[in-house]
Amino acid sequence: MSKPIPSLGLPPLTSAVIHILLALADRPLHGYAIMQVVEKSAGTEMRMGPGTIYGSLQRMEEAGLVRELTTRGDDRRRVFGLQPAGRRALEAEAHRLTRLAALVHAKRLIKGEA
């Protein structure tokens, strides 16, 4: 029997979804700007090309996490904004990761930490 696929807005979120939501947390951005923000915040650990960005954004829009905004001017750029459900999903994931980090710290799994 196949394992059910969890809803995109429920934790745990994929790294790509987390980083895209984080990039959009402050303001709407177009796809290339999202790629730049993700690369700046995640470094070489999380490089996303256009296919990953726009494929993720499409699924995230279908799940109600983000929305493509209409823009004046340059119609070639697709601008996306965070929806309330996206902010809630990001907050839930942040809480989940905070609890996980506390467990890791309590188990003293990271050398050099007191």
The CATH number for 76's domain is 1.10.10.10
pLDDT of residue 1: 46
- Examine residue 8 and state whether it is found in any structural domain, yes or no: no
pLDDT class of 114 with cuts at 50, 70, 90: low
Bridge partners (DSSP) listed for residue 29 = 80
- Examine residue 74 and state whether it is found in any structural domain, yes or no: yes
pTM of the model: 0.84
- Examine residue 113 and state whether it is found in any structural domain, yes or no: no
pLDDT reading at 36 higher than 80: yes
Q: Is residue 71 within 8 Å of 77, Cβ to Cβ?
A: yes
- Structure tokens, 9: 């807005």
pLDDT of residue 4: 45
The Cα–Cα gap between 103 and 47 comes to 28
Domain assignment of residue 84, given as a range? 15-106
- Examine residue 78 and state whether it is found in any structural domain, yes or no: yes
Domain count, the chain: 1
- Looking at the chain, the whole-number percentage of residues with pLDDT higher than 70 is 88
Distances in whole angstroms, Cα of residue 66 to Cα of each of 3, 80, 89, 97, 109: 26, 6, 11, 21, 36
